[in-house]
Amino acid sequence: MQKFYIAVLGNMGSGKTTVARLLAEELKAKLILENFANNPFLAKFYSDMKRWAFSSQAFFLTEKVKQIRKISKIYLRSNIVQDTPLFQDINIWAKAQLRTKNMEAAEWRLYRRLSKLFLDGLRQPDIYIFLQTSIPVLQDRINKRKREFERDVPFSYLQVINKLLTEAVEKKLHHVLTINTDESNFVSSDEDRKWLIKTVKDKIFHE
């Protein structure tokens, strides 16, 4: 594969950003990070999910589409590693709002209509890396990081996200590398980082 576009997907607290940063550095690729900090609805969403689910997901949708349009140009001259693909925004984050009844059916239909307007012609990742993580580990990591608005995320919400991720990986996605992160520490363990890089390189260059 002369060029590669890798996208990292997983639940909140699974380590997507950490892994994306590490892979981009080691593989000399352009890093594309999720623009969650600029979402004016995100903190409001976690305090009142039903009120702000549609607004928050609509913001992420438009931001991610802008990212991917840039990716199509960057791809001509550089490999890419992306934190959270558009596929996850639509089929995991937004769909979870329907499953949990944070979004009404009419809002979901509108969201899907908007997403379909954008999807035609957008470049898709060559390889997805799915960070599979159990709920207790997710909760522990969420509690340790400094995002106060995430601290009260319900166990049931994380369960829905994990279920949707598993369904998507099994039924909708191809070229997926699944990595269980429960026993891994890619921040402080050299051994874990080396294993990750080798595993990803084997997936990229030997498929």
CA dihedral defined by 18, 19, 21, 25, rounded to 10 degrees? Answer: 140
CATH superfamily of 5-205: P-loop containing nucleotide triphosphate hydrolases (3.40.50.300)
Q: What pLDDT tens digit does each residue of the chain (207 aa) get?
A: 568 999 999 999 999 999 999 999 999 999 999 887 789 999 899 899 999 999 999 999 999 998 888 887 888 789 999 999 999 999 999 999 999 999 999 999 999 999 998 887 788 899 999 999 999 999 999 988 877 777 778 899 999 999 999 999 998 888 999 999 999 999 999 999 999 999 999 988 876
pTM for this entry: 0.92
